[in-house]
Amino acid sequence: MNEHIPPDFQVPGFLAAGIAAGIKKTQVKDFALLFSEDPATAAGVFTANRVKAAPVLLSRERLKSGKARAILANSGCANACTGKKGIADGQTLSRRVASSLKIAPGEVLLASTGVIGKPLPLEIMEGCLPALVSSLSPQGLADAAQAIMTTDTKPKAVISRDRVNGEEVTVAGIAKGAGMISPRMATLLVFVLTDADISAGALRKALNEGVQGSFNRITVDGDMSTNDTLLVLANGRAKNRRILPGTPGFKKFSALLSGVLLSLARKTVADGEGVTKVVRIVVEGARTGTDAEKVVRAVANSPLVKTAFFGEDANWGRILCAVGYSGAPVDPDKVDIFFDQVQVARKGQAVGTETEEPATAVMKKGEYTVRIRLNQGKKMAYLFTTDFSFDYVKINASYRS
Amino acid sequence: MNEHIPPDFQVPGFLAAGIAAGIKKTQVKDFALLFSEDPATAAGVFTANRVKAAPVLLSRERLKSGKARAILANSGCANACTGKKGIADGQTLSRRVASSLKIAPGEVLLASTGVIGKPLPLEIMEGCLPALVSSLSPQGLADAAQAIMTTDTKPKAVISRDRVNGEEVTVAGIAKGAGMISPRMATLLVFVLTDADISAGALRKALNEGVQGSFNRITVDGDMSTNDTLLVLANGRAKNRRILPGTPGFKKFSALLSGVLLSLARKTVADGEGVTKVVRIVVEGARTGTDAEKVVRAVANSPLVKTAFFGEDANWGRILCAVGYSGAPVDPDKVDIFFDQVQVARKGQAVGTETEEPATAVMKKGEYTVRIRLNQGKKMAYLFTTDFSFDYVKINASYRS
């Protein structure tokens, strides 16, 4: 068993599989299927990029019903910028898998990740569908987690359980997203399965809340992909009293789901391309929420700040510089900056050379917090970001070769 | 003589010098002075960052008179985020150099580049001022070009001459700016000297026009510095009929100045940190100028696009992806993409695998153009950008050590 997969990684009533279909040139798993034995409630969140891959367009349309039973996903090819053929290919695959599973094609959700601009290898995929369907098993979620990986170095899998409305409910999720991880949904595939009985409206609401505090709070390179997809299926097997919006049960389920999403998001950012540091940027004391957001995104996406993180150089001047060009009307002479507990700047100026050594010690850690106090109001914002390393360049310069 | 300095690199009536004062730890030139023997008209452009270094604040204030006679500049310390002490230090240096040159302190413009957040080594600088002043000579501009370098690999110097209003006029400029080069003024020091006789209003207008088409059209990492400064002095030694706005003479001078600025800007971007490619991004067929600008900046600053340039990978999907998240309301199904003359995408889809090889051949060149036709209107925009290389990370991770 893979060390990155939690023990007993399965959700009652769900089967899954992941196989090596040959979509990628290498002999690794690249084709995944998740299936609910019962009809299930479904919700999703997709990329805000105007260039949307075919599977995104199809899944978004199908989710309008609030129902789905299967997720068919592949790595190795994004099926993005492929026009009408891309849509037709997605429909063909949906019909084929639906027929095998004895469900409607509209109950199949699709997700793809990989190179943009190339058509799916449809014959290969159709040929492997029977093998994929026959591999379905309650334990197959671990294989699915591996099949959606691209430049990820490890599969991301999280499971959590809690009593909700009288019964134990399980929430399990898998994610991939080493490259192009950015705010407002990254190139990210995230699939969450739960046996909770929940209304479609409540599921959508819980998902949106959970995404705000997790995947929308991470950034690796500021790019936003054409294929970002987060899907949740809830099959009701737990037989809890149905979860409805605005009830105590909803709060509990929402916290459970948010916890799984946050945990997946942190694993995803820590496995970002070439990442050696995960840094939480916290902006406090902004006049408005928009100001806080502008500042935190400018700092978290600055290549100069990120290379300084990699170099373990407490160069707070670059941080203040990014605050200054963020577009927020900030008075730099009021700004304090901390590396964990070590204050390096007070009112926009150096605290003194004696903090250099303790600040550098903080930066040698794999995870730490940079706190920026604007001292101009009461709003805050945070983001998880990473360093920019030699390996980031290496991985991205040679991705397609 | 340095191979990067043009022959006969001097402007009538101007003296200059550059010496190693010990502001930097290494024994390289780091202190520069430019001086006009006659009273001169002056204009400047500064960083739009809200965090402005002390020399920027002082020079901006002094330029309100439209006159200046000296530029005192240093590398090795930015005198940024240094509060009242930074201002006082700048005033002290101004008084000292003004007294030596027998001019008023208000006629001295200041510029600094280097580490943010540390005070100037005032004693060292004051101690070296007599040596700097006594080194002034008509040929000293080449030394000044070297003294303002930071991570630049070569000095940037350009000179151009033309007849304006009846006399030959000389325009010569020096620039530094390898790091933090970004749109809307980079960390960039640019000093231009001319013997033209020109009114302050005409000089300001010509400068603003020239900057729009040159330094505001380059980007290396999207960061914007606290110290960006572009200064022009015009001493009237050419004895041409005075250049006034809106005249044929103005047009000719403006073209001369713009040419020098564009040439300096191209040298600056080509010498960007770790740069191996200079790529012109051209966006055509946008509905509005704002749309064109959003698209060109998103593409030119995308780390994924820039690492693909470094890897010589004709991954046009990343370009279309950046178009999609630029914030401009673009229809991706209308977009064509070219690498020089080689079309790689038509209506948002691959043209075919046969263009891969010629496209890769284009990317192996040191300079080429990526043309993005939106086919949705008539507006265009362009930017010079660069690749992101291993050396970019290396230089910026270890800058202060």
Per-residue pLDDT reduced to its tens digit, B27-61? 899 999 999 999 999 999 998 888 899 999 999 99
CB atoms within 10 A of CB A175: 28
Residue B175 lies in a domain: yes
Report the CATH number that the domain containing residue B145 is assigned in CATH.
3.60.70.12
- pLDDT, residue A1, reads 54
The answer as to whether B356 is a domain residue is yes
Residue A365 placed within a domain: yes
Domain total in chain A: 2
Of B224, B310, B323, the CB nearest to A397: B310
pLDDT tens digits, B306-344? 888 988 988 898 899 899 989 999 999 999 999 999 999
Confirm whether A9 is domain-assigned.
no
A190 neighbors A200 (Cβ within 8 angstroms): no
Do B223 and B111 lie in a common domain?
yes
Number of H helices, E strands in chain A: 11, 14
Residue in chain A closest to B390 (alpha carbons) equals: A390
CB contact under 8 A, B350 and A397: no
Please give, rounded to a whole number of angstroms, the shortest distance from the CA of A235 to a CA of chain B. 34
Contact with chain A for residue B321, Cβ under 8 A: yes
| SS3 of chain B: helix, strand, coil, percent, to 5 | 35, 25, 35
B-chain residues within 8 Å CB-CB of A302? 222-223
- Give the distance from residue A326's alpha carbon to the nearest chain B alpha carbon, in angstroms: 8
CB < 8 Å to A276, chain B: none
Output the pLDDT for position B401: 39
For B156-191, letters b (16+ CB in 10 Å) and e give bbbbbbeebbeeebbbbbbbbbbbbbbbebbbbbbb
**What's the token pair of residue A291?**
């100001």
Please report the pLDDT score of residue B217 as a whole number: 82
A65 to A108, A127, A253, A378, B350: CA distances (angstroms): 12, 30, 22, 41, 33
Name the strands in the sheet holding A349-350, side by side, starting at the edge strand that comes first in the sequence: A349-350, A342-346, A336-339, A367-373, A278-286, A379-386
For chain A, which residues score pLDDT lower than 50? 179-186, 400-401
pLDDT tens digit at each of 401 positions of chain B: 578 899 999 999 999 999 999 999 888 999 999 999 999 999 999 988 888 999 999 999 999 999 999 999 999 999 999 999 999 999 999 999 999 999 999 999 999 998 888 899 999 999 999 999 999 999 999 999 999 998 788 999 999 999 999 999 999 999 997 544 443 334 689 999 999 999 999 999 999 999 988 888 876 555 667 888 999 999 999 999 999 999 999 999 999 999 999 999 888 888 877 788 989 999 999 999 999 999 999 999 888 888 889 889 888 988 998 999 899 999 999 999 999 999 999 999 999 878 889 999 999 999 999 999 999 999 999 988 888 876 666 666 655 43
Among the partner residues A83, A322, A388, nearest to B349 by beta-carbon distance: A83
Query: A183: nearest CA in chain B?
Result: B325
Q: What is the mean pLDDT of chain B?
A: 90
- In angstroms, the separation between the Cα of residue A119 and the nearest Cα of chain B is 9
Asked if the structure places residue B189 within a domain, the reply is yes
Cβ distance A399 to B180 less than 8 Å, yes or no, reads no
B333 with B298, same domain: the answer is yes
> Measured between alpha carbons, how far is A261 from A219 in angstroms, rounded to an integer?
15
In a domain, A6, yes or no: no
| Cross-chain Cβ contact B349/A81 below 8 Å | yes
State the catalytic residue, choosing from A82, A113, A150, A187.
Answer: A187
Alpha-carbon gap: B160 to the closest alpha carbon of chain A (Å): 34
Q: Is A5 within a domain?
A: no
Using a CB-CB distance cutoff of 8 angstroms, which residues of chain B are in contact with residue A325?
48-51, 223-224
**Which of the listed residues A203, A236, A270 is the one where a domain comes to its end?**
A270
Residues B217 and B105 in one domain: yes
| Whether residues B59 and B164 fall in one domain | yes
A87 touches chain B (CB under 8 A): no
Listed in order, strand segments (DSSP E) in B47-155 are 67-74, 108-112
Pairing relation of β-strands B14-19 and A379-386?
A: unpaired
Residues 157-216 of chain B with CB under 8 A from chain A are: 179-180
Answer yes or no: do A111 and A170 share one domain: yes
Residues B123 and B174 in one domain: yes
Task: Give the domain CATH number at A343.
Answer: 3.10.20.340
Structural domain span for residue B147: 14-270
Nearest beta carbon to residue A332 from set B50, B118, B350: B50
B357 in A contact zone (CB under 8 Å):
no
Helix (H) or strand (E) holding A68: strand A67-74
- Sheet of B349-350, strands arranged across: B349-350, B342-346, B336-339, B367-373, B278-286, B379-386
pTM value? 0.77
What number of C-beta contacts closer than 8 Å exist between A and B? Answer: 206
Say yes or no for a CB contact (<8 Å) between B303 and A396: yes
For A304-361, what is each residue's pLDDT tens digit?
888 889 889 888 988 998 999 899 999 999 999 999 999 999 999 999 878 889 999 9
Cβ separation A321–B223 shorter than 8 A: yes
Show Cβ contacts of residue A229 under 8 Å, excluding neighbours closer than 6 positions. Answer: A44, A45, A46, A47, A55, A56, A59, A111, A188, A189, A190
Chain A residues with CB under 8 Å of B310 CB are 393, 397
Q: Are A172 and A303 in the same domain? A: no
Task: Examine the domain organization and report whether B239 and B282 are in the same domain.
Answer: no
Reply yes or no on whether B219 is catalytic. no
Give yes or no: residues A265 and A391 share one domain.
Answer: no
Shortest CA gap A277–chain B (Å): 13
- The reply to whether B122 falls in a domain is yes
- Name the token pair of B304: 């994924």
Tell which of B246, B270, B294 closes a domain: B270
Within this chain, do residues B282 and B263 fall inside the same structural domain, yes or no? Answer: no
- Specify the pLDDT at position A186: 42
**CA of B34 vs chain A CAs: smallest distance (Å):** 28
The verdict on a CB contact (< 8 Å) between A396 and B330 is: no
Which one of A326, A396, A401 would you mutate to disrupt binding with B, by most B Cβ within 10 Å of its Cβ? A396
- Amino acid symbol at B155: P
Shared-domain flag, residues A209 and A352: no
Count of other CB atoms within 10 angstroms of residue A129: 18
> Do B72 and B215 sit in the same domain of this protein?
yes
What is the chain B residue with the closest CA to A86?
Answer: B349
Q: What is the DSSP string of A312-379?
A: T---HHHHHHHHHTSSS---GGG-EEEETTEEEEETTEE--GGGHHHHHHHHTSSEEEEEEE--SSSE
Nearest to A51 among B321, B329, B397 (CB): B321
From B47, B150, B187, B219, the catalytic residue: B187
pLDDT at A133: 98
Bridge partners, residue A217, by sequence = none
Which of the listed residues A228, A249, A270 is the one where a domain comes to its end? A270
Q: Which among B222, B317, B331 has CB closest to A116?
A: B317
One-letter amino acid for residue A274 of the chain: G
